[in-house]
Amino acid sequence: MDKQDLIQLINELSSGLFSVNVEMIDNQLASLQSYYKDQLPPFLSANQQDHMSKKLEMLPKQREIVYYKDSLFMHYMAFPFDENQLVVLGPYIVQEMTEDLSEQILQENDLPISYAAAFYTYYMETLPICPNTNILFFTKTMVKHLLKAETDPLVHYHHLENMDEKFTEDNEQKDYAASIMPLLEKRYELSNQLFLEVSFGNTAKATQLYFTLKEHLKVIKRIQNPLRNQKNLSFVHNTHLRIAAEKASVHPIYLDSISNHYAIQIESSTSVSELDQLGVEMIEKYCQLVKKYSLKYFSPTIRKTINYIHVHLSDELTLDELAQYSNVSTSYLSRVFNKEVGESIPNYINRIRADKAAEMLQFSKLTVQEIGEYVGFYDLNYFTKVFKKYYQMPPIQYQKEHSYL
């Protein structure tokens, strides 16, 4: 395998699994320091960036991996392809950035707390989240295959300590920081507004905010590959939309296949414009789920009952079973369910099963029979009858006309 094939393979695999950037650079400390410096937040001064990059003092040797972690929560993996080339995976973060964590990191590095909103937004919109155990296993496997070795390569951990000096920003950096900070803070504000609108199922307003946010993103420094940039942003967008829908009490049973489907769509996209269109489509789909399946307006008893139905959709659900689980009488559950949901429990179960089947017919490669059984219809004729009631066509026709696969 030559180096171009290797990098293409690592890029495809790492992007599909983690959406982590992969680069091949000269196997020299200066090249690694330069690459690292380019990834640092743009509101750091030039002196701060130089100071931090010089803390990188270790290159991986042949047959080993170096895992780098800096004081700004950025992580990297690197290993030599040969004597002249170095493969670098990153930067990435290992857990979701929070406002409290961003303030803590700024304090530890003696950076202004006023940077907190910008720091939080920049990281959430720039760096993918990847557990170290996952990416380390992936990197070890790639190195083993590259070296045709039977044992795992050695791993060295290189922690870049906190900033230990204060710096005076030059005028150019001050001007840049002054211009970028309000934009990042506005980005943070607009992001919160967008996901709030999604949690209420407001497609029009959420879409409007999405295009406004895109304008704000144009001036923020990213990694050099525009398509990779947009894919990373799209992965974050997908994750945030899912979280917004979850906050609206949409059950994960409806979110899993949708979010997985869009993750695949994002990675297979070949242009920025295609990803832009996908961003709008995702907003529409998640808002539809909120409007259709949000449980936030139901009482605790009905919410508990509906959640049980969703989780046990393939089981033979009975009124006695549901009442026992919700710790109420069957008559009380039937009466309150009809009042709050607007339909009887048997009708609700059939409708939810049909809706889940419709979703799977769009996004799954399972047969109609298998999908019917998955959602609790073990008689194909009855499945067809119920599905036609809600979708005006048999499931096999729906699959042919609406499948994304």
Q: What is the DSSP string of 6-68?
A: HHHHHHHHHHHHT---EEEEESSHHHHHHHHHHHS-TTS-HHHHHHHHTT----PPTTEEEEE
Q: What CATH class does 300-402 carry?
A: mainly alpha
| Residue spans per domain, the chain | 3-159, 171-293, 300-402
CB-based contacts of 387: which residues, under 8 Å, 6+ apart? Answer: 354, 357, 358, 393, 394, 395, 398
pLDDT given for residue 387 in this prediction: 96
Instruction: Evaluate if pTM is beyond 0.85.
Output: no
> What's the pLDDT score for residue 17?
57
Torsion of CA 22, 27, 30, 36, to 10 degrees: 20
> Which residue in this structure is represented by tokens 């590259």?
146
CA distance 378 to 60: 57
Q: What is the pLDDT of residue 112?
A: 76
Residue 39 token pair: 């990834």
Exposure b/e, 320-338, CB count within 10 A at least 16 = b: eebbebbebeeeebbebbe
pLDDT along the chain (405 residues), means of 10: 61 60 89 90 79 88 90 91 88 84 84 75 77 84 79 86 56 55 72 88 92 74 65 80 88 81 84 91 93 87 91 91 95 95 94 91 89 94 96 95 79
pLDDT at 340: 93
Model pLDDT, residue 371:
94
What pLDDT is attached to residue 67?
A: 92
pLDDT attached to residue 137: 86
In total, the chain counts a number of residues equal to 405
Distance (Å, rounded) from C-alpha 144 to C-alpha 131? 20
